[in-house]
Amino acid sequence: MSELTFEQMLEESFKTIRNGEVVDGTVIDVKPDEIILNIGYKADGIITRSEYTNESGADLTTMVSVGDEMTAKVLKVNDGEGQVLLTYKRLAAEKGNERLKEAYENHEVLKAPVAQILGGGLSVVIDEARVFIPASLVSDTYEKDLSKYQDQEIEFVISEFNPRRNRVIGDRRQLLVAERAEKQKELFAKIQVGDRMEGTVKNVTDFGAFIDLGGVDGLLHISEMSWGRVENPKKVFQVGETVEVMIKDINDTKVALTLKFPEANPWANAAENYAVGTVITGKVARMTDFGAFVELAPGVDALLHVSQISRAHVDKPSDVLAIGQEITAKIVDLNESEKKISLSMKALEPAESVEEVGEEDTAE
């Protein structure tokens, strides 16, 4: 046995290794900043922290244990101190690049957690090989703040593979576009005008809100947000809010939505509620030179012409009325088909009031 052992030792003493060679070894010692391997050579192999992981300041004693088997690549046969300098990280990255190359050629969908948020996009790591996903390829919509993706596991494909130029580009956007297209196809196959659906407010603008119906965005125009007036959609809706909407129109891939539900139509009983001769109370909503528009109910405005404000002469409505002022008037005309109502305050004034004033003026 001793002779065999001696022969083995003799054989090992002639063993040679080269830069770039892949070697197997056993961990014989671990320090916070380096790993020492027995690689069956006259000198031990050393893997420094920076050649083991990209995590700066990592404590290697928490990552590797004595007795672990490892495969590494020779960087330098003699590091100047008679030891062999090895790299674990670069070998893993090479294997990772092979994995990425295969995924690129097969159009495979990969999944990995986001390792780093960069100025122009995201960085993910597959088997120690880094993939860069530009901001423009992170989502199917523009996203200014990418911080929410930190540590989040995402799916993507490799759209460009050129490791020599350090360009391995990932694309998440095309997966989302394809997924949305499939959802759109399914949704358009079953929705109809008049359907009521729950959706999520995706974006709010000055002219309306875009509602995600589950893969299809519908536009809820400001004029369709209420039977009454909406001055500012941003004061009514918040991004992320859930709303029930009704489909008003479908034109190709465009969906128009409304919140004007028929049962809430304030004009439904107009003939009864706003019959000619009815005395009604309302608030001045807006004014022009020719008259004032009075809100009788949300979605029902009536015109009080300047000539119907008083039996006395009125140059313009703003001389005697104010926005928000509550007034009482008589309905003198109703046109249901055009949704027009005309009011008169003058009709409620005693006819003799002006005549009496005129007589007093004459007497003076």
Residue 184 Cα distances to 102, 213, 360, angstroms: 31, 9, 77
Closest-CA residue to 302 (of 259, 323, 332): 332
Residue at 89: amino acid letter: K
Residue 10, pLDDT score: 52
Residue 341, pLDDT score: 95
Residue 1, pLDDT score: 42
Tell me the two tokens of residue 144: 């200014």
CA distance 65 to 314: 96
The answer to whether the beta carbons of residues 99 and 129 sit under 8 Å apart is yes
Residue 319, pLDDT score: 92
Residue 363, pLDDT score: 42
Residue 5, pLDDT score: 61
Residue 277 Cα distances to 76, 212, 313, 340, angstroms: 103, 47, 23, 15
The position carrying tokens 């603008």 is 205
The answer to whether the beta carbons of residues 51 and 93 sit under 8 Å apart is no
CA distance 163 to 317: 76
Beta bridge pairs of residue 168: 161
Instruction: Spell out a b/e string for 264-283, using b for 16 or more CB atoms within 10 Å of the CB, else e.
Output: eebeeebeebbeeeeebebe
Residue 359, pLDDT score: 47
Residue 233, pLDDT score: 94
The answer to whether the beta carbons of residues 300 and 264 sit under 8 Å apart is no
CA 343, distance to chain mean position in Å, is 48
Taking 70 as the pLDDT cut, the residues of the chain under it are 1-15, 79-80, 352-364
Residue 299, pLDDT score: 86
Residue 362, pLDDT score: 42
Residue 32, pLDDT score: 93
Residue 253, pLDDT score: 84
For each of the domains in the chain, give its residue range(s) and CATH number, in order of start: 18-90 (2.40.50.140), 107-175 (2.40.50.140), 191-263 (2.40.50.140), 269-344 (2.40.50.140)
